[in-house]
Amino acid sequence: MILILGGTTEGRTAVKVADEAGKPYFYSTKGEWQEIQCKHGIRITGGMNTEKMESFCRQNDIRLLVDAAHPFASQLHRTVDETSRTLHLPVIRFERKYPPRTENIIWCEDYTDAIYQLEKAGTDHLLALTGVQTIGKLRPYWEKHTCWFRVLERETSITLAQEQGFPKGNLVFYHAGESEALLLETLHPQAILTKESGESGGFSEKVKAAQAAKIPVFAIKRPPLPRHFMIVTGEYGLRKQIEKNIPAFYPLRSGYTTGACATAAAKAALTALILGEEQKMISFRLPDDEEMTLPVSHTEIEKNSATCTVVKDAGDDPDVTHGASIVVTVSFSNHPDIRFLQGEGVGRVTLPGLGLEIGEPAINRIPRQMIMKELSALYDKGLDITISVPGGKELAQRTFNPKLGIVDGISIIGTSGIVRPFSSEAFVEAIRREVEVCVAVGSSRLIINSGAKSERFVKKEYPGLPAQAFVHYGNFIGETLKIAAKLKVPLVTLGIMIGKAVKLAEGNLDTHSKKVVMNKEFLKQVAMEAGCSPDVESMIERLTLARELWTLLSEEDCGKFFPCLLEHCFAHCVPLLPEGKLTILLIDEEGNIPFRIQ
């Protein structure tokens, strides 16, 4: 069993990740005020000291602790530390993402130091954004100076403030979505005091508003964590650590894309080149800015270049590149920019429509962005990046690269950096569990998307829905709609991009590329049915990828073709949801939703 200690935004995300396994776990918060939505979690409330936590872990056969509590919950972190050491339990710390510490903020080691720094600066009117629990710690300051505390508008917060002797008239109540700037304009403080609470704690927004008003910012540094805590900063890292420490918790392991492996290898190579040291492990960031770490299997350093290898682990996904060596050589260059060069086993683009120049190595846009972001942070001059995959030319014959005009090797791909394990039976069962969770938490609508990329776009349409409302169908559109119908979901939105839409429109409810590819003859029929101009037929014949339709069709033909395509999609999907209402959103490459049907 797993015990998650939450009460935070990270706690909610941890619940979402744990629910994906479909197995029971415990979710603990100190109070009962947090509304948490989960299906398989067992909710417990009330503070636990070390003795009580150790007893709970023994009685419930806890094998893993997930500390997703507030970064300033120092006592709880100590309790988790002591319990883990006594019972020899691993601890995953679900940490927040923090902006870098900058010199335009006055950093304080603790509350005593904050009082010293405030008085040294002559601050007589302070807005404290550190929470009701810190009123007592700042007593020596507010007893002598004007001070406002912003707190949650709850009876417990007001009572606690009054018990500390703090004047009720100087309490300012927090309301979700309120303007930080408006509060500052109302109170005119000489300074604000906040905590290094990270992005999810609104730290950046507070600092930005204060600095725009030219108000000094004092910030309490977050307390250090025990060294043996395994740090993760997002849902992918959390799942990977759970898979590592409780191997049987999930039915299938997740993995990494070739793009993620190439990014890790590139950063390791540049680090080795700069430091002149062999690299064993390397940290890098996914597109969502989550930090991950991968092992480096080999390092070779020369005078002006270094080469590192990362072996791809695709998890339990039947990926042809699983176990392949992703080898990256980074060389100093007189060229002012970062250039990507084709190495052995990496494909070369020979046809238009892939979003890459003809002749360029087949390294997709997002992996390029990941690599450039990591390397430019370490070195600000020209670099040549050569990515190789030994045996890649042979592996490519088992992919669709030859049909796409990519020759000599595989593509370096990936939009999220993570491979979700693919097994038809297990994947559909995972979808079922996620839809069950959506229903259990009372979401008014189920949003189904192919993956992380389309989900990001569709979330903008439904900002008020809980995270559990968004479910990835992968390629199993038909199975997902059947599950929604069986669970009597009243409202379903299907977000789809053009690559899958052209397959769905023909009646392919499983859109995996191993089973079905774009049918140009069918698309010609759609164009004819929609009344498109005569030259569209020859344009379709020249297509390499379906996404080229967005740029090759005229505005007038777009207005005819895409609605007709959606009508075909709708006709195949509606019968699977007889008692529900279906909406289909067609998403373009920029994340816009220009066409929809319901």
Q: How many residues are listed for the chain in this entry?
A: 598
Residues 347 and 209 in one domain: no
**What pLDDT score was predicted for residue 75?**
93
Domain assignment present for 250: no
Domain assignment present for 201: yes
Domain end, chosen from 402, 419, 436, is at 419
Give every CB contact of residue 391 below 8 A, 6+ residues apart in sequence.
324, 345
**What pLDDT score was predicted for residue 513?**
55
Burial class, 127, CB count within 10 angstroms (exposed 0-12 / middle 13-18 / buried 19+): buried
In angstroms, the CA 314 to CA 203 distance is 36
Return the minimum-mean-pLDDT range out of 20-24, 401-405, 437-441, 526-530.
Answer: 401-405
pTM over 0.75: no
> How many of the other CB atoms lie within 10 Å of CB of 454?
24
Higher pLDDT, 404 or 504: 504
Residues 367 and 439 in one domain: no
Domain assignment present for 173: yes
- Residue pLDDT, tens place only, 126-145: 999 998 889 999 999 999 99
Residues 502 and 394 in one domain: no
Residue-range definition of the domain harbouring residue 114? 106-220
Domain assignment present for 160: yes
Residues 563 and 436 in one domain: yes
Residues 260 and 395 in one domain: yes
**What pLDDT score was predicted for residue 327?**
96
- Looking at the structure of the chain, the number of domains it has is 4
Residues 237 and 281 in one domain: no
Domain assignment present for 534: yes
Residues 437 and 471 in one domain: yes
Residues 300 and 371 in one domain: yes
Is the pLDDT score of 423 beyond 90? no
Residues 330 and 474 in one domain: no
Domain end, chosen from 419, 448, 469, is at 419
Residues 190 and 234 in one domain: no
**What pLDDT score was predicted for residue 18?**
93
Residues 367 and 511 in one domain: no
What average pLDDT does range 18-47 have in this prediction?
Answer: 85
What CATH number is attached to the domain comprising 177?
Answer: 3.40.50.2000
In angstroms, the CA 218 to CA 193 distance is 5
Is the pLDDT score of 115 beyond 80? yes
What CATH number is attached to the domain comprising 12?
Answer: 3.40.50.720
- Residue pLDDT, tens place only, 183-234: 888 889 999 999 998 887 788 889 999 998 999 999 999 999 999 999 999 9
Residues 87 and 200 in one domain: no
- Residue pLDDT, tens place only, 93-103: 999 989 989 99
**What pLDDT score was predicted for residue 390?**
94
Residue 16 near residue 73, CB atoms below 8 Å: no
**What pLDDT score was predicted for residue 424?**
61
Give every CB contact of residue 49 below 8 A, 6+ residues apart in sequence.
79
Is the pLDDT score of 111 beyond 80? yes
Domain assignment present for 101: no
Percent with pLDDT over 90 in the chain: 58
Domain assignment present for 466: yes
Domain assignment present for 278: yes
What average pLDDT does range 334-354 have in this prediction?
Answer: 88
What CATH number is attached to the domain comprising 311?
Answer: 3.30.2110.10
